[in-house]
Amino acid sequence: MKTKDVQDNLITTNTQFFMRNRIVSSFSFLLLLFWVMSAHTQTPTDGLFMEKNEICIAVMGSHDTWDHYWEGRLLRDNQNIGILTRNTLMPMAAYGISSKINLLVGLPYVSTSPSGGQMTGVSGWQDLSIFLKFKPYSYHNDRWTLLSFVTAGFSTPASGYLSDYQPFSLGLGTQEYSLRAIVKTEYLEKYYFRGSAAFLHRTTTEAERDYYYTTKGIYTSTMDVPDATNFELALGLWMFNRAIQLEGAYVSQTSLSGDDIRRQNQAQPTNKMDWTSINGRLRYFTPFFEGFSLMANYGQVLTGRNVGQSTVISGGITYQFPIKK
């Protein structure tokens, strides 16, 4: 091979290497975003509650795409990825242990793929999540209803996926402990407002390399994953004798530590990942099958830091029924 051809091949190889590594990950918030946006079967973030011995089974599907991301605070694209697509199938269940405590379980199956470049996506089971939802206080009169909830959660990887393969990884690869407070007020059983705040504690994840760089070089395969706070404000409306539910929400998440993606470097689980989004939700209770409901949801990430500018469309079906009289 001629010297010029060798040089051209080296330049092409190096260009592809740098393009592949100038990637941001959106996976850190996708599970939480899905929980937030998956319409109200009952989730850790909503204002709904199962009665004692009631169970709700749901299957939700989510389609997430982005072609721009924030490298630090710089919004940019990556033509070597093109459009990143993440599809999620989420089986979920909620059970009323008592009139004060609900149990929630979810296990998503995730697949990722790019529209361009040389890298390939992955698929598999992500994280098993278990939540206990407690209703400490409620108040009702002829016009107003006031409800409060506290949700404690735990999640852990359900498969041996590689968390450092970004932005295609299935998840963070870490254990997460969460605590959320929720307040909901409803007027005339028609209009409602809900607010919630949560603290998310993440442990560590293992990478398939012995060295990585944050603000300094670190010689270990163990990565610290930043803790985060999460806030949600929602306004909703019940229509046609509570057969249709409409809701709009604003959600934000802020990492409490972490570093930014560096130029010509790969994103990693140590990055500080912040975002804000708006979400729209529609739920329809079918009159012909008691206990069934259909949902459709739309979300858009507005601002971010080291995350993708995602558009998320999701929907699904739920079935709620008592298992004891």
Q: What is the pLDDT of residue 23?
A: 41
Q: What is the pLDDT of residue 48?
A: 80
DSSP 163: T
Query: Among all chains, which residue has been given the structure tokens 């990825």?
Result: 81
Q: What is the pLDDT of residue 325?
A: 65
Calpha distance 242→293 (Å, rounded): 12
What residues have CB less than 8 Å from 120, skipping those under 6 apart? Answer: 113, 114, 168
Q: What is the pLDDT of residue 6?
A: 38
Q: What is the pLDDT of residues 114-124, one digit of tens each?
A: 999 888 999 99
Q: What is the pLDDT of residues 30-84, one digit of tens each?
A: 333 433 333 334 678 887 888 999 999 999 999 999 999 999 999 999 888 999 9
> Which parts of the chain are beta strand (E)?
54-66, 68-71, 74-77, 84-96, 101-106, 109-114, 123-125, 127-140, 144-157, 176-187, 191-202, 204-206, 212-213, 217-218, 222-224, 228-239, 244-255, 274-285, 292-305, 311-322
Calpha distance 71→286 (Å, rounded): 44
Mean pLDDT by 10 residues, the chain (325 residues): 42 41 40 37 78 94 96 91 96 94 96 93 97 95 96 96 94 96 96 97 96 92 97 96 95 97 86 97 92 96 97 96 83
The CATH architecture one would assign to domain 3-322 is Beta Barrel (2.40)
Q: What is the pLDDT of residues 193-210, one digit of tens each?
A: 999 999 999 999 999 999
Q: What is the pLDDT of residue 42?
A: 66
